[in-house]
Amino acid sequence: MSSYLSFESDRLYLRPTTEEDAALVLAILTAPKALKFIGDRSLKSEEDAREYIRQRALPQLRERGYANYTLVTKNTGTKVGVCGLYVRPDLELIDLGYALHPDHEGQGYARESSRRIMHAAKAHFGQSKLSAITHAENTASIRMLEALGFKHKGQKSVAGYDGPSEYFEVTL
């Protein structure tokens, strides 16, 4: 994976997610908030999470040069979440997404990593606009997207998500 770009922010290293991050991905995507706001990805084991990474993140990384990034704290080396740029068939724009391990929510990591990924989207990947989706009841995510400069554009149905998602766009 060293041939792909990694990034850093004040407190975090952001590196492409690999199969070695299966335990983190499993913990994030099986947490109650993720099940409610992202949906059930049918992950029951670390092997399921490795397969999820192999099928979802790695092909896009190889094709586009960007995908999901694992967030690692600089001070302790702890993996705290993921943030990335996602190609979604139902969206015209590249989608900014993020999710934190439940033990590391509320510490500003999602905002910090999102800002860094937004900068990379423009500077390294030639994007002039991004989209973002979130669940209508995920008020913390909605507030954060607005603080990052995203504008609410209505609702969109996106494959893999139950019901319509709140849809946002930002010009970089």
Mean pLDDT of 13-38: 96
Q: What's the half-sphere exposure (Cβ side, CA atoms, 13 Å) at 64?
A: 21
Kindly list the distances between the CA atom of residue 17 and the CA atoms of 89, 128, 149, in Å, as whole numbers in the listed order.
21, 24, 26
Instruction: Give every strand in the sheet of 79-86, ordered side by side.
Output: 7-8, 12-16, 68-73, 79-86, 95-100, 129-134, 164-171, 151-157
The pLDDT mean for the chain works out to: 96
Q: Name the CATH superfamily, with its identifier, for domain 7-171.
A: Gcn5-related N-acetyltransferase (GNAT) (3.40.630.30)
- Tell me the per-residue pLDDT of 117-133, one tens digit each, with 9 for 90 and over: 999 999 999 999 999 99
Instruction: Give the pLDDT mean for 95-119.
Output: 97
Residue 126 tokens read as 């030639």
The model's pTM: 0.96
